[in-house]
């Protein structure tokens, strides 16, 4: 909460409640009408790469939530001293060092967890959603707003990841979170007894693109205002 006080002191804006309508919109918009993946087209690469299983999608969503929330605040606090000529490099350094320090701490004190996360580290640093929000929002807004924007966008990103991961794992492997839900494909029990087969194509990246495409289609057909010319 100290951040808010600091921001108000600096910018001298009239007092605004912590969760004003405008601030709430920062969180809810990216979940629906300004979704980072389906509308802003940010973070597509990782959405394709790691959604073959639901668990990986969830882990990635939580990691990005953390990094984007904290990163946005750090960049926002630095926004008035960052030279505009090298701002992209500065953003890259901030996110890379944040992720490395978190990785070191996890390796030292939560080794098992860090092994689960290790493959995501590189994916987080290169995730364009992070750079995208730094550039588009945190450089021009106060820390509290930036924090909300980070959380909101990461949640919107995570929502799509979880939806895609759900369908890819269910249709591709017949499991959810690694637990078989459709029966045993080798023993031919459950759904497989009726001749159902897993669609191995769902496990490959192109299907993630198609699932994301379907989500975009559904979303735009429900809200015509989102359709561009």
Partner 1 sequence: MANKTDSNTYTVLFAIGMVLVVGSLLAFSASVFNPQISLNKKLEKQQNILFSMGINEATLTNDEADVNTFVPAKEVTGIFKKYIKEQLVIEGDKVTPDSLAYLIDLKKETEKAKDPNYQRKLPVFIGEKDNEKFYIIPVRGAGLWDAIWGYIALSEDLRTVKGAYFDHKGETPGLGANIKEPYFYNDFKGEELFDGDQFKGITVAKGNADPKNLDKSDHEVDAIAGATITGNGVTAMIKKDLAMYLPFFNSLKNRVN
Binding site for partner 1 (CB under 8 A): 49-53, 55-56, 59-60, 80-86, 89-90, 93, 97, 100-101, 104-105, 107-109, 111, 118-120, 122, 169, 172, 178, 186, 200, 203-204
Q: Which ranges in the chain belong to alpha helices (H)?
A: 2-11, 21-28, 44-49, 54-78, 87-109, 111-125, 128-136, 143-173, 205-222
Measured from the CB atom, is 90 or 154 closer to partner 1?
90
Contact, 183 vs 71, CB < 8 A? no
Contact, 67 vs 98, CB < 8 A? yes
Measured from the CB atom, is 31 or 77 closer to partner 1?
77
In the complex, the smallest distance separating the C-beta of residue 65 from partner 1, rounded to whole angstroms, is 17
Measured from the CB atom, is 73 or 148 closer to partner 1?
73
Measured from the CB atom, is 40 or 53 closer to partner 1?
53
In the numeric block, the tokens 């992209």 are attached to 88
In the complex, the smallest distance separating the C-beta of residue 114 from partner 1, rounded to whole angstroms, is 9
Q: CA-to-CA distance for 203 and 214, rounded, in angstroms?
A: 16
CA angle 142, 146, 148 (to 5 degrees): 125
Measured from the CB atom, is 186 or 225 closer to partner 1?
186
In the complex, the smallest distance separating the C-beta of residue 135 from partner 1, rounded to whole angstroms, is 16
In the complex, the smallest distance separating the C-beta of residue 52 from partner 1, rounded to whole angstroms, is 3
In the complex, the smallest distance separating the C-beta of residue 217 from partner 1, rounded to whole angstroms, is 24
Q: How far is CA 55 from CA 15, 46, 52, 103, in A?
A: 42, 14, 9, 19
Contact, 160 vs 38, CB < 8 A? yes
Q: What is the CA radius of gyration of the chain?
A: 20
In the complex, the smallest distance separating the C-beta of residue 49 from partner 1, rounded to whole angstroms, is 7
Measured from the CB atom, is 12 or 222 closer to partner 1?
12
């Amino acid at each position: 909460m100290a951040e808010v006080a600091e921001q108000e002191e600096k910018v001298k804006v009239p007092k605004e409640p912590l969760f004003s309508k405008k601030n709430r919109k920062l969180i809810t918009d990216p979940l629906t009408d300004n979704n980072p993946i389906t509308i802003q087209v940010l973070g597509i690469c990782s959405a394709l790469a790691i959604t073959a299983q639901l668990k990986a999608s969830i882990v990635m969503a939580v990691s990005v939530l953390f990094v984007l929330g904290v990163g946005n605040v750090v960049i926002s606090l630095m926004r008035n001293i960052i030279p505009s000529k090298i701002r992209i490099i500065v953003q890259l350094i901030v996110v890379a060092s944040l992720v490395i320090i978190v990785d070191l701490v996890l390796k030292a004190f939560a080794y098992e967890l860090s092994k689960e996360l290790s493959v995501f580290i590189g994916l987080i640093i290169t995730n364009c959603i992070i750079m995208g929000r730094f550039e588009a929002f945190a450089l021009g807004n106060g820390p509290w707003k930036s924090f909300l924007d980070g959380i909101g966008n990461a949640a919107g990103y995570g929502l799509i990841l979880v939806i895609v991961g759900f369908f890819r794992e269910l249709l591709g492997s017949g499991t959810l979170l690694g637990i078989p839900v459709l029966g045993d494909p080798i023993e031919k029990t459950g759904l497989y007894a009726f001749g159902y087969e897993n669609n191995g194509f769902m496990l490959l990246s192109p299907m993630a693109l198609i699932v994301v495409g379907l989500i975009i289609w559904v979303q735009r057909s429900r809200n015509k205002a989102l359709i561009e010319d």
